[in-house]
Structure 1
Amino acid sequence: MRRLLGGMDIGGTKCAAVIGEASEDGIDIVGKRSFPTPGTPEETLAALIAALAALLEEHGAGGGEAGTSVAASSSEACGRRPALAAVGVSCGGPLDSEAGLVLSPPNLPGWDGIDVLTPLREAFGVPAALQNDANACALAEWRWGAGRGTRHMAFLTFGTGMGAGLILNGRLYAGANDMAGEVGHIRMRDEGPLGYGKAGSFEGFCSGGGMTRLGIGMIGEWLQAGKTTLLPTGADAEQSLTARLIFEAAEQGDELAALIVRVTGIELGRGLAVIVDMLNPEAIVIGSIYTRQERQLVPVVLETLRREALPRSLAACRILPSGLREHVGDAASLSVALHALET
């Protein structure tokens, strides 16, 4: 019988339910449903359960309304009808993965100690597990992406924020209370853009929001020096500047945009050097912005790494873009489901 994995991604603005089938060659995304995040945790969980149940019914893996055991109805099916094996949940932290609790993430107001696993186990009758989004992406890249075949790997989100998921000695490492990998909080400079509640932090320099704040500050200084830029300025910068616009302007030869990209690349290289020296990984996989803008970032990142990291440690480590690229978010929750079956 085919074995399906179910996944749920809980975000501040959008949620998704997904089903997939894992094989030795990777992960096949069978179906997906996305929707804006509802107002309350209870509404969100009910909508995710209904979406996953609908996907399973749509793909012949059992039926029933949300709140019934889809796994039970699947097990009654004959022949080769696929069955749901486990459900994984990916959500921004902080959280308690062992207890299955979401603990007041900044982008999910009202999610204060919310049990997300009990409703899933009751609805589907299968194992369910929860991990923060960085850990979930690390598992996905390790199993099916750029980190496949490694025993020691780090994954960096480098998207809206900056966080890390760690695979050490062939196992996910979450730390004493699920706080391992919060590299975005590391202070890179005494002053700098705000990220993770700290000025000059790794997230402040190396995230979408951090790059925007860095750019706004540098635009003001640039204009005061009598120079021009393709980037939006003044009130327009506050409203419309994004990391994407910065990279696009740099690609067009804008001197200020190129300087902002260089500052980000330097701080990314310095942050990577800390990880290389501390963990001695075989690979550091970087998602989102790095995956899309690798060509512009690589020269300065590698230049900085060679200057900052221990040569022997760096020689053992590859710096790689996400192998799953834009699908890493879908694969992330499914990797948590597979992890639930193996632990």
Structure 2
Amino acid sequence: MEDNLLGIDIGGTKCAIVYGKRIGSDLQIVDKIRIETTTVEETIKEIIDEAKNMMIRYGLTAETVRAIGISCGGPLDSKLGKVMSPPNLPGWNNIPIVKIIEEHLGIRAGLQNDANACALAEWTFGAGKGVQNMIFLTCGTGLGAGIIINGSLYSGTNDNAGEVGHIRLTENGPVGYGKEGSFEGYASGGGIAQLGRIIAKEEIKKGTTVSWCPSHKEIELITAKLIADAARTGDELALKVYETSASYLGKGLSILIDILNPELIVIGSIYARNKDIMEPYVMKQISNEALEGARDVCKIVPAALGENIGDYAALSIAANFID
């Protein structure tokens, strides 16, 4: 059986319209169009126009496209199909995006936040195929989670499930999700950059040379990637940053393992790119902190869908919607 699906990925700087085919248990991405995110009205109009162009290009109609999946940063209301003031989308206040898309394209649509969408993608088409209880961690600029429980997406009472980045791990520490010492503050790309800046400042004050930050003037230019590149050359300070981040990632994962008892945790972005550096410290903390019975049945793996996960995520909402 073959299903034609459309996906819409709404981001703070860019949006994407994706056409994919689900053939059995596999998903084939056929085409994708990227557009700039501008004003609310202009962006929505361009999304609709490009979706129509995509359908014309491939001879698709409202009858031959099974569903449209819309992925967007939260907060949102998936039941009402509304985007509700995400911090990276100024002006998107209570926008009934599902209703708008359905009215203009004549195809039923579903909405989920981006972490949930990525969880669906990895669960349906990636590393989580065949499991019943899974957590997906974004581990990118920020840190969020999508949760699969007993073979279904769990989004909570009002779509706030999975905001694990807000968990406080220490009283003081790098800031993430507006909270000092938070899980996001330690284990996200932004958190790793903060850790690097803290350590670089301390070392430069002591007169130590920091290869990836020669002077105070360059402190704000430090990124997680810059530190990772230095760590791969064996730079001790860069390795210390990643050791610290990975250790707190392990502590945070231990909490999730104890509470949710998953069989699989899939981690994207930074962890997926730096598994060799981070995994030993993550597993050491899990060994120390998590309940033995729960940790023994839980595997920790990098995301399988790589840089295309956003495309799969939007299409997976559509696939899950019709299922």
Q: TM-score range by the shorter chain?
A: over 0.9
Q: Equivalent residue for 1:207?
A: 188
Q: Equivalent residue for 2:120?
A: 139
Cα distance, 1:218 vs structure 2: 1.2
The alignment partner of 1:119 has SS state of helix
Q: Equivalent residue for 2:202?
A: 221
Q: Which runs of 4+ in 1 moved over 6 A?
A: none
Cα distance, 1:263 vs structure 2: 0.5
- Quote the Cα distance in structure 1 between the aligned partners of 2:18 and 2:143: 24
1:234 equivalent to 2:216? Answer yes
The question of whether the paired residues in 1 share the 8 Å contact of 2:115 and 2:137 is answered with: yes
- Quote the Cα distance in structure 1 between the aligned partners of 2:80 and 2:25: 32
The question of whether the paired residues in 1 share the 8 Å contact of 2:2 and 2:23 is answered with: no
Task: Spell out the pairing of 1:245-256 with structure 2 (5 A cutoff).
Answer: 245-256=226-237
Give the aligned residue type for 2:127. A
Q: Equivalent residue for 2:37?
A: 37
- Quote the Cα distance in structure 2 between the aligned partners of 1:14 and 1:237: 28
Give the aligned residue type for 1:52. A
Give the aligned residue type for 1:235. K
**In percent, how many aligned pairs have the same letter?**
48
Pick one of 240, 252, 256 that aligns with 1:271: 252
Q: Equivalent residue for 2:47?
A: 48
Cα distance, 1:55 vs structure 2: 1.4
1:18 equivalent to 2:18? Answer yes
The question of whether the paired residues in 2 share the 8 Å contact of 1:153 and 1:167 is answered with: yes
Q: Equivalent residue for 1:158?
A: 139
Aligned length: 322
Cα distance, 1:255 vs structure 2: 1.2
TM value normalised by structure 2: 0.97
- Quote the Cα distance in structure 2 between the aligned partners of 1:127 and 1:53: 15
The question of whether the paired residues in 1 share the 8 Å contact of 2:173 and 2:182 is answered with: yes
Give the aligned residue type for 2:263. E
Task: Spell out the pairing of 1:74-113 with structure 2 (5 A cutoff).
Answer: 75=63, 83-113=64-94
1:260 equivalent to 2:259? Answer no
- Quote the Cα distance in structure 2 between the aligned partners of 1:218 and 1:131: 37
Cα distance, 1:25 vs structure 2: 4.2
1:315 equivalent to 2:314? Answer no
Cα distance, 1:23 vs structure 2: 2.3
Q: Equivalent residue for 1:331?
A: 312
TM value normalised by structure 1: 0.92
Q: Which stretch of structure 1 is more off in the superposition, 311-320 or 121-130?
A: 121-130
Q: Equivalent residue for 1:177?
A: 158
- Quote the Cα distance in structure 2 between the aligned partners of 1:58 and 1:52: 10
Structure 1 gaps of 5+ residues are 63-70, 76-82
The question of whether the paired residues in 1 share the 8 Å contact of 2:3 and 2:23 is answered with: no
The alignment partner of 1:319 has SS state of strand
